[in-house]
Structure 1
Amino acid sequence: MFLGPLSLALSGVAVWFAGAFFLIGFLVFIKTTAKKEKRARPIEPVVGAPVRDGLGRVEPAERSSQSVEAEPAASVDRPAAWSLALIRALEWKRFEDVCQQFYEKKGIRSETTPLGPDGGIDIRLFQDESGGPTSIVQCKAWGERLVGVKPVRELLGVMTHEKIGKAFFMTSGGYTDEAKAIAQANRITLIDGAMLLMMIERLPEGERQDLLAFATAGDYATPTCPSCGIKMRAVQGKGGRPDFWGCHHYPRCRQVLGMRRNVEAAASGMAR
């Protein structure tokens, strides 16, 4: 009679211990599985963060083959017509692309130079069946600033090196008298902002409006990084230095551009 209740009590204790061990084992299994999943999860790269090698050193920036989209610009009222003010507000890459598209609409095959050092050539024009460029174009989106003799002489040097007999220099501003004299003597056609506006206004209405839509699509005032191809960001200068444009990929990309005061307000407003 005594052994019966004792056996029953021992059986209950054994069942309790078995349940406890099972619960502990189950919790350990879940914790181990969670750790494995965490280790297996890929780490997303942080855009703009420095890339380090195995020794912790920062690797030099590499130009991406894909364009990285910058932060969307705030919506602004789009110009309803072409104007000299609009031409002078275009950032350097958009100005260059507008010039290239203008030649295309005139029926002239053209190619822009890829990002990076352009060797003094922004656009190549092909006007015969030889397959090679017949003339070259240099573009300067300098707002109202006058292009001096130095850039024109540099273009002349590129013409000699490339064995090209004709060139165009296109700017949003104007030219000094010395630059005009050098160009006139060396088959370099100078096109200032006012002349470019006149040439655009002579296009058929549909093509003119298409070019306007192309020119003002998205953020057309904030400059493009010459190395990365993305929109830059306004950086406040320190120690009395002027404000400037810096790359979003800093410190991987240390490209900087000066600000044009006449379009700075509009550009910074669109970049917010």
Structure 2
Amino acid sequence: MLDPFATLEEAGFSLRRAGGMDRLAGWSPELIAGMDWARVSELARAIATEAGCEVAGSRVMPDGAVHFGMIEEPKSAKAQRAMVKTVPWNEWGATPETVQRFAQEVGGARNVRGILIAPGGFSPAALRAAQELRIEAVDAAGLDAAVRALPREKSDYLFVITTAGDFSVPSCPVCLKKLQRVEQEAFELPSRLFDMDGLIADNVVCDRLEVAAGCDVTFLHEVKARAISVSGHVAGDFVCEGPVILESGGTLSGTVAARSLVVRDGGQLLGQFRILEGELGSFVKPVVRWHWRCAGEEGKRECAWVVFEPHE
């Protein structure tokens, strides 16, 4: 019988991934969620094949999403067509919008059920949307359970093949070469949404700060933002390069220095406000960020458009 471990070692593949993770520890949801999108889609196809399904060819999208069709129980009277999709690399976890878009794609075919694979997981709202739209939601834990349910020899063989080489580095969806890590200085700030009650001890510096309705958030350090929108209850000291908007039901306690303050009907300021005047030295500091890009060795123009964010 073919020994996949020996075969791959002879070919020069290491059984340990860069970074020290021991591949011999076996399957886990974390390992699957950390794989290249191409490895995840091939693993899904292999699981379906081992389950007796007839699997059609894959269609790779520029964002790293993969579609393939299959027929479940093809030789029985209960044969069922299904459309399978792995989510794009830059999404990886499914939102309600992710599920809704896929449901629309499935809806274009007759008598087909949809299976959406999101290794990064599904938000609670996404799971509700999947249930309502009759989409089967599969995350890394689901793939892990499915591959572990296979006969031991099959599971081991798939493990070695799937994790050979740089299995965590994403591939270019255009030329299928491995992407390269590229660093650059960035001046962008992230937006921050606080949708849960909390006492925030971090130094918050962001583009847009939003506090959701029904939430009570207290900031222990001065908050700096380009725009602030409050629909819940917030306390702290705030410096804003743009407008501060207190929506209906929103209250702000503390001090506010901003270019402008807008208080909607039902909103309330419970503190001190001063208008920010004159030139304000930007609090945005350049940071070095990195992402995955294609080296373009195949000479395909579309490769230059591939920019994948790291899964960290």
Q: Which runs of 5+ in 1 are unaligned?
A: 1-71, 263-272
Structure 1 counterpart of 2:295, from 248, 257, 265: 248
**Mapped pair 1:113 → 2:58:** yes
Deviation at 1:107, TM superposition (A): 1.3
Q: Kindly state the Cα deviation for residue 161 of structure 1 after the two structures are TM-superposed.
A: 1.3
Which deviates the most, 178-187 or 136-145?
Answer: 136-145
| Residues 63 and 89, structure 2, Cα contact 8 Å, conserved in 1 | no
1:195 is aligned to 142
Q: How does 1:22-37 map to 2 (within 5 A)?
A: none
Q: Displacement, 1:142? A: 5.7
Whole-angstrom CA distance in 1 between matches of 2:113 and 2:66: 12
Offset of residue 238 of structure 1: 2.9
For the aligned residues, what is the CA RMSD? 3.1
Question: What amino acid is the match of 1:225?
Answer: C
Give the paired residue count. Answer: 190
Identity %: 23
State how far apart, in whole Å, the 2-side matches of 1:184 and 1:170 are.
Answer: 14
Is this contact kept in 2: 1:144–1:174, CA < 8 A?
Answer: no
Query: 2:83 touches 2:115 (CA, 8 Å); kept in 1?
Result: yes
Q: What's the CA shift string for 1:86-119, capped at 9, x where partnerless?
A: 1011011111111111111111121342334599
How many angstroms apart in 1 are the aligned matches of 2:123 and 2:98? 11
Higher relative contact order (CA 8 A, sep 6+): 1
Deviation of residue 193 (structure 1)?
A: 1.4
TM-score, normalised relative to structure 2: 0.54
> Is the Cα–Cα contact under 8 Å of residues 87 and 118 in structure 2 kept in the other structure?
yes
Residue in 2 aligned with 1:38?
none
Gaps of 5+ in 2: 1-10, 18-22, 187-286
**1:89 paired residue among 23, 34, 37:** 34
Higher helix share: 1
State the match for 1:169 in structure 2. Answer: 116
Flag the 1:257–1:189 CA change in 2: closer, same or farther, 3 A.
Answer: same
Q: Which moved more, 1:134-143 or 1:115-124?
A: 115-124
8 A contact 1:97–1:112 mirrored in 2: no
Runs of 4+ in 1 over 6 A off after TM superposition: none
Query: 1:199 deviation in Å?
Result: 1.5
Q: Which is higher, the Rg of structure 1 or of structure 2?
A: 1
| 1:259 and 2:309 aligned | yes
Change (3 A) 1:166 1:144: closer
1:150-169 alignment runs, 5 A limit: 150-169=97-116
